[in-house]
Amino acid sequence: MDAQFADQWETVKDWSEESRYDTQDRRAAGDMLKAAQGVVECIRKYW
């Protein structure tokens, strides 16, 4: 696992259906979106 993926996974691993309703600031929301996109890209590439 490379460092970039590890950082992205660290960001998205605690997400849940319940946590999606928590209020986040713009930066946290952007970080989550970017990390989720990176994780999905990795899954597409290696799955």
pLDDT in tens, 1-47: 689 999 999 999 988 999 989 999 999 999 999 999 999 999 999 88
User: What pLDDT is attached to residue 1?
Assistant: 66
* Of the candidates 13, 2, 9, 1, the residue with the CA atom closest to the CA atom of residue 38: 9
DSSP per position, 1-47: --HHHHHHHHHHTT--TTGGGS---HHHHHHHHHHHHHHHHHHHHH-
Give residue limits of the domains in the chain: 1-11+24-47
